[in-house]
A and B are shown apart, each in its own frame.
Chain A
Amino acid sequence: MIWLNQIIQGVLLGGYYALIACGLSFMFGVMRIINLAHGDLAVLAAFLVWAIVDRSGMSPFLALAIVLPVMGALGWLLQRAMLERSLRAGVLVPLLTTFGLGIVIQNLLFEQFGADTRSLAPAIGDLAFDSWSIGSQIYVGHLAGLIFMVAVALLGGLQLLLARTPLGRAIRATAEDPDTAELVGIDARSVYAAAAAIAVMTVAIAGTFLGMRAAFAPYAGPAQLIFAFEAVVIGGLGSMWGTLLGGIVLGVAQNLGAQIAPNGFLIAGHTVFLVVLGGRLLRQRMRRAS
């Protein structure tokens, strides 16, 4: 029963990982950029929501509605001012600039908010601890369930956006080949900027839920980036539903690891990531050899 519970909690945790990972996956799919400041942007969003809630006492969900367009604008600006130029300079430069940006965000947050850990949990009342019980020993938290549903909705929404809307078509065309897309009248620069804005808005949603489900601090970003990246890679880069599966595999592995040993949570997560990645590389090699 303990094990079943750990698996269920792991699946729910996987929902959070999918949520934080979908922006990373989206950006990689469209621009071929792995944004190393991804986690720091999530933490930035969490702090913005926290600051609004702290000053006004409004619900974090309402605060998120304010922060969402701000983060979208930030994503747009990020693309125009930094990533666009980085992409032109070569494949490695976006890694360097986004890493530098991450350092700047972390330390500015530290400067502004100090080292204290914060949480949005006190601001959401019962939602933070209420749960449904299944049988006598398994409890599913309302918040964890909500996060999972938001993740599924967001991934589904992004999938629909890409598959069905004019913007989605433009994004797919630009991702395939920006020069050819320009030939048929698509403004690749605007499409990239729109994609970056969407990606960073999903990061804002993830950051807000990070703040509700746990405590966060200025230097919490890199850990979120690593979890997001692990979920994306386990699920297969650039695939939306793969990201959900990847998040679930990661969450389940971590929870089972934690059940085995106190520090097994992180070790099991990283190990599963490396094993999946290693297995994939090995299969590629065998396919090439045959």
Chain B
Amino acid sequence: MNGRAGMSIERWTPLSVAAMGAVAVLAAALALGPLFLGAYAVDRLTTLFIYVLLASMWNALAGYGGLVSVGQQAFFGLGAYAAIRLSSFGVPVYAALVLGGMLAGAAAYAVSGFALRLRGGEFAIGMWVLAELFHLLVNLDRLIQGETGTSLIALNAFAPGNRRDYNYWLALASMAGLLALMFTLLRGRLGSSVQAIRDSEEAAASLGVRVLAAKRIVYVIAGAGCGLAGTLYLATSISFQPATYFGVQWTAYMIFMVLVGGLGTFEGPIIGAIVFFIIENLFGASGIWYLVGLGATAVVFALYLPRGLWGTVEEKFGIRLLPVGYRVAQRP
């Protein structure tokens, strides 16, 4: 670089190269999981993958795009509903699950022209209203039987053991695929664009960033990702009650995971999801106090540790495991 002597701009450090290698090994090991893990572990890991997927999608919106949505359950529920509908039309059930997620992404595209023109709090509650409206409209479908709900009966064609393994692989593939997609996009032009928009929409536009187009890409991917999470959750629980799937608690979980892990860092939501997963397994049974604790923790993190666990570590030790940005390094 021809800048100041002794400085260079770097993206990959030896540590992050090693981390990428570790991620590849871990992904391969997880892919073989069902061959050596017990039924319970496979089930729990499937849930963890869904959480990681949800957290990463919400982080892509808020942490990179500056879009705080309290209505991502709109796509979570819509994905699950679409899978049930497709399956009722005779689409093979696992194809219906994947397509359901894609259709949620298509719905995100359809409403993006409207939603993305809303700012800040308007966008936040506007998304919530959309989620409520989708919920009410889905209830109108006779197949769903109102709040009683229905089940994805076609899954019964598979033996429980096989179903468990297929769900696991589908969840792993969805999570890994969407994380890889976000990683690639955030490292490229889109990453710079959306972060510029997050910091100042006007300034970004004045530099020639196509604001709406950049936001739309992130929004649609997040919609599809949350939709897939919804269909995966449907695959593990089989039953579909609209109030559960369109509940705002999904957004509460996403916010918790991202704030605890680290808003606006790539690794943060993954760590946040693991933390949430552990807390849920330990305290989930304690009911109400567990939920009070989740809300309070989110507030405390937002106020006192805004960069979350991972962001704080990153700042303190200057490490990047999965680099999406650049940094200035002292040349040896």
Q: Which residues of A contact B (CB under 8 A)?
A: 28, 33-34, 36, 82, 85-86, 89, 91-93, 95-97, 99-104, 106-108, 110-111, 222, 225-226, 229-230, 233, 237, 263, 266-267, 270-271, 273-274, 277-278, 281, 285
Interface residues of B in 239-290 (CB under 8 A from A): 248, 251-252, 255, 259, 288-289
B125 touches which one: A97, A226, A266 (CB < 8 A)?
A226
B185 neighbours in A (Cβ, 8 Å): none
CB distance from B164 to the nearest CB of A (A): 32
CB distance from B246 to the nearest CB of A (A): 12
14 extra interchain contacts, Cβ-Cβ under 8 A, other than A34-B125, A95-B70? A34-B122, A82-B303, A93-B303, A99-B255, A101-B299, A103-B291, A104-B295, A107-B295, A230-B129, A237-B122, A263-B136, A277-B126, A281-B114, A285-B117
A222 to B130, CA, bound (A): 14
B289 touches which one: A111, A267, A277 (CB < 8 A)?
A111
Most buried by B among A107, A266, A271: A107
Q: Are A86 and B303 in contact (CB under 8 A)?
A: yes
A233 to B303, CA, bound (A): 28
Given contacts A97-B303, A100-B302, A107-B295, contact A274 B114 (CB under 8 A): yes
B70 neighbours in A (Cβ, 8 Å): 36, 95, 99
Interface residues of B in 107-143 (CB under 8 A from A): 114, 117-118, 120-122, 124-126, 128-130, 132-133, 136-137, 139-140
B120 neighbours in A (Cβ, 8 Å): 34, 91-92, 95
Closest residue of B by beta carbon distance from A229: B125
A107 touches which one: B66, B118, B124, B292 (CB < 8 A)?
B292
Q: Are A96 and B302 in contact (CB under 8 A)?
A: yes
A273 to B140, CA, bound (A): 20
Listed A/B pairs (15) with beta-carbon separation below 8 Å: A28-B121, A82-B299, A89-B302, A93-B302, A96-B302, A107-B288, A107-B289, A107-B292, A108-B292, A111-B288, A229-B125, A233-B122, A263-B140, A274-B114, A281-B114
B132 touches which one: A28, A104, A270 (CB < 8 A)?
A270
Cβ-based interface call for B68 (8 A): yes
Cβ-based interface call for B31 (8 A): no
Q: Are B139 and A225 in contact (CB under 8 A)?
A: no
A107 to B288, CA, bound (A): 6
Cβ-based interface call for B33 (8 A): no
Q: Are A100 and B136 in contact (CB under 8 A)?
A: no
CB distance from B289 to the nearest CB of A (A): 7
Closest residue of B by beta carbon distance from A109: B288
Q: Are A100 and B291 in contact (CB under 8 A)?
A: no
Cβ-based interface call for B149 (8 A): no
Cβ-based interface call for B91 (8 A): no
Please report the total number of B residues contacting A with Cβ < 8 Å: 40
B124 neighbours in A (Cβ, 8 Å): 34, 36, 95
Closest residue of A by beta carbon distance from B124: A95
B295 touches which one: A33, A103, A222, A263 (CB < 8 A)?
A103
Q: Are B136 and A267 in contact (CB under 8 A)?
A: yes
A281 neighbours in B (Cβ, 8 Å): 114, 117-118
B296 neighbours in A (Cβ, 8 Å): 100, 104
Closest residue of B by beta carbon distance from A91: B120
A34 neighbours in B (Cβ, 8 Å): 120-122, 124-125
B19 neighbours in A (Cβ, 8 Å): none
B292 touches which one: A95, A97, A104, A271 (CB < 8 A)?
A104
A36 to B125, CA, bound (A): 8
B121 neighbours in A (Cβ, 8 Å): 28, 33-34, 95
A93 to B126, CA, bound (A): 17
CB distance from A220 to the nearest CB of B (A): 13
Given contacts A104-B292, A277-B118, contact A97 B133 (CB under 8 A): no
Q: Are B133 and A271 in contact (CB under 8 A)?
A: yes
CB distance from B301 to the nearest CB of A (A): 9
A108 neighbours in B (Cβ, 8 Å): 292
CB distance from A198 to the nearest CB of B (A): 20
Q: Which 5 A-B pairs have the closest CB atoms?
A: A34-B121, A103-B295, A100-B299, A100-B298, A104-B295
B248 neighbours in A (Cβ, 8 Å): 222
Q: Are A270 and B306 in contact (CB under 8 A)?
A: no
CB distance from A281 to the nearest CB of B (A): 5
A102 neighbours in B (Cβ, 8 Å): 295
CB distance from A81 to the nearest CB of B (A): 9
CB distance from A282 to the nearest CB of B (A): 9
Q: Are A266 and B68 in contact (CB under 8 A)?
A: no
Cβ-based interface call for B155 (8 A): no
CB distance from B41 to the nearest CB of A (A): 30
A267 to B133, CA, bound (A): 6
Q: Are B62 and A92 in contact (CB under 8 A)?
A: yes
A237 to B121, CA, bound (A): 11
A92 touches which one: B68, B117, B136, B139 (CB < 8 A)?
B68
B299 neighbours in A (Cβ, 8 Å): 82, 96-97, 100-101, 104
CB distance from A160 to the nearest CB of B (A): 27
Q: Are A266 and B132 in contact (CB under 8 A)?
A: yes
